[in-house]
Amino acid sequence: MDLQPGGFLWDHHDPVTGEDTPDIHYQIFVPIVKAGSKEGDLFAGKYAQRFSAKQICRKCHVPQAKADDHMARDKLKTVSEIRNLISKGKLGL
């Protein structure tokens, strides 16, 4: 791999066909946006919690420490559990 100011060259090997494609020129675009937390969330199209919570999901029992595992299949909250949270004023988590 030769790094260049305008990108880098890479030789690609396709394991399925066995073909080699030399010197593919990759030019990576990295946008830089200077923004605060709230503005950055809006720009990225997401919402991040700004307080401490034990659970991050309103619908299931995933602990916050394991919330980055997108393949996890955690137990869903039942209707009675959600009603109980609403009656106690704990609407989200």
pLDDT digit string (tens) for the chain, length 93 residues: 454 567 888 899 999 999 999 999 888 877 777 776 677 777 766 666 656 666 667 677 777 777 777 777 788 888 888 888 788 876 544
Residue 1 has a pLDDT of 46
Read off the pTM. 0.34
Integer-rounded Cα Rg, in Å, for the chain is 23
Per-residue CA distances from 84 to 17, 26, 56, 61, 87 (Å): 58, 54, 17, 15, 5
Residue 46 has a pLDDT of 67
Question: Where are the alpha helices (H) located in 1-93, listed in sequence order?
Answer: 37-44, 79-87
Rounded CA gap, 93 and 74, in Å?
15
